Amino acid sequence: MNIEKRLLTINPFSRPGKKFSPVKGVVVHWVGNPGTSALQNRNYFEGLKSQSMSNHKATFASAHFIVGLPGEVIQCLPLDEMAYHVGAKTYTPEAISRFGQYPNNCTIGIELCYPARDGKFTPETWISAVELTAYLVKLFRLEMPAGIWTHHGITRKECPKYFVEHPEAFERFKLDTDIAMGEIPEGEEKWTY
């Protein structure tokens, strides 16, 4: 799996630079805009830095990774920093039990691109997302399948739409991730930032 690092600039809206608590889960999202690329979505996160802190409608958003339509993976944040990917006013009881009162503090966010309004992922996006998720689950020694969540499972937001409308597809994604898991190669216990 090839990961292109295009880290966001430190700013209050998409890369606050706050260090993590121990990682307790990986959260899968959809980008929310069909037919866009991983780079376009990364650049959207980067563009949030131009907002004003005095704007009460400012957007706070980011993710650690974005997986594109042809399966490319862009890393937006270091794995020891918090992303703004599951912020909400309320969380599900299951999420609070697992992640505490603010799940952004202990979860890795992965955004997936998709071609059409139905939210179904391309085979290339699926394969790369499975490989990336398997690597992260193994790297952070997360419990399977309890270590993999959807945004919907944490906040009830319809994200990713395809997994919300087709829960069997999310079960398949977790199974594929479990199958894809293997040992972390010697010398790769930690990612370099």
For position 68, which CATH number holds?
3.40.80.10
What is residue 146's three-state secondary structure? coil
pLDDT tens, position by position, 39-92: 999 999 999 999 999 999 999 999 999 999 999 999 999 999 999 999 999 999
pLDDT, position 186 = 53
Judge whether residue 157 has pLDDT over 90. Answer: yes
The confidence score (pLDDT) of residue 21 equals 80
How many separate domains does the chain show?
A: 1
- 31 falls within a domain: yes
Mean pLDDT of 97-108: 96
Count other C-beta atoms under 10 Å from residue 182's C-beta. 9
Q: How many CB atoms lie within 10 A of CB 185?
A: 7
Identify whether 192 is part of a domain.
no
Mean pLDDT of 105-129: 98
pLDDT at 189: 46
Query: 55-64, 106-115, 176-185 — which is least confidently predicted?
Result: 176-185
Instruction: Please state, in angstroms and rounded to a whole number, the distance separating the CA atoms of residues 83 and 27.
Output: 11
Range of the domain at 25: 3-8+19-49+59-180
- Residue 189 belongs to a domain: no
Q: Are 121 and 114 in contact (CB under 8 A)?
A: yes
In a domain, 93, yes or no: yes
Is position 107 within any domain?
yes
- The answer to whether residue 130 scores a pLDDT higher than 90 is yes
Per-residue model confidence (pLDDT) at position 188: 46
On whether the CB atoms of residues 61 and 15 are closer than 8 A, the answer is: no
| Res 182: pLDDT | 74
- Is 59 in a helix, a strand, or coil? coil
The mean pLDDT of 11-17, rounded to a whole number, is 98
Q: Does residue 141 form part of some domain? A: yes
Q: How many residues does the chain have?
A: 193
Domain membership of residue 14 (yes or no) is no
pLDDT value of position 183? 53
Residue range 164-180: mean pLDDT, rounded:
96
**3-class SS of residue 12:** coil
Please indicate, yes or no, if residue 193 is contained in any of the structural domains.
no
Q: Please indicate whether residue 183 or residue 16 has the higher confidence score (pLDDT).
A: 16
Segment holding 155, helix H or strand E: helix 151-155
